[in-house]
Amino acid sequence: MANMSNAINMSFRVDKNLKQQADTLFKKLGINTSAALNMFLTQSVREQSIPFVPTMNVPNERLLSAIKEVEDIESGKIKAKRYKTFEDALKDLD
């Protein structure tokens, strides 16, 4: 991170809700948004690339449905089927 004598201000636009969500996340992580952005820039320069793989992959409907089912089980909306043994679960698959 730059020492204070070398620090400059940067200004850019970001969606208000995104900024609030990022501030909340970084606070939980024990840093502020400025520190997080400095970490991103430092890692980008170190790796000479974006430090994550940008992707257009989005969950398909089957995965989204499975995620919803898990959430419903966790919240108690639907009851999960239970098995006494792994073999019993395998038999149920047949």
Mean of pLDDT values over 69-94:
90
Residue 80's pLDDT is: 87
Mean of pLDDT values over 54-83:
90
**pLDDT tens-digit profile of 21-63?**
999 999 999 999 999 999 999 999 999 999 988 887 888 999 9
- Give Cα 75 to chain centroid, integer Å: 21
Residue 46's pLDDT is: 96
4 secondary structure, DSSP code: G
The residues, any chain, with a CB within 8 Å of residue 31's CB and separated by 6 or more, are 39
Residue 94 has pLDDT above 90, yes or no: no
Tokens encoding 8: 């400059």
Rounded to whole angstroms, the Cα distance separating 62 from 68 reads 10
Model's pTM, two decimal places?
Answer: 0.54
- Average pLDDT in the chain: 91
Residue 20's pLDDT is: 97
Rounded to whole angstroms, the Cα distance separating 60 from 70 reads 16
